[in-house]
Structure 1
Amino acid sequence: MKKYSYGSKLNLQRLKRQTILVPVTTDDGGDQVVDWDGLDGLGTELLDQVITQTNTALSKLVLLTTPPSHT
């Protein structure tokens, strides 16, 4: 069974074992810290992709559902 298939729904035990990887950067002290700016940029990029794909799909739907004009 795949990790995220329907039959392996997330529960508290699975969530506790889950590792979530995030982008990191090195601070001035040489320590690795979460790259919040990079993570924010990634979120913005993904949202832009979803918006573009949604608008494309909606445009196609409008074309399919618009009756032809008889001029």
Structure 2
Amino acid sequence: MHYEGNIIRPPSEADSIILQVTVGCSHNACTFCGAYRGKRFRIKEPEIIDEDIAFAARYCLRQKTVFLADGNALA
């Protein structure tokens, strides 16, 4: 899996596959959150995401859920 920086996930996702599809947060201006300061938002390259999905399909057979990681994964 190709992770960049620290991955933040809720405790409820402890048993999920963590798929980082974006880096940083598209808003990145919340006064209560400094988790993504210094990270410029971008969507990861489709080829990298495809490689991570293929890896998870092959090696992460126990997990039943996927958590899309970083600040705004649905951007």
Q: Fold match, TM over 0.5? A: no
Structure with higher Rg: it is 1
Question: Which structure exhibits the higher relative contact order, with contacts defined as CA atoms closer than 8 Å and separated by 6 or more residues?
Answer: 2
Q: TM-score range by the shorter chain?
A: under 0.3
Q: Which protein has the bigger helix share?
A: 1
Using structure 2 for the length normalisation, give the TM-score.
0.23
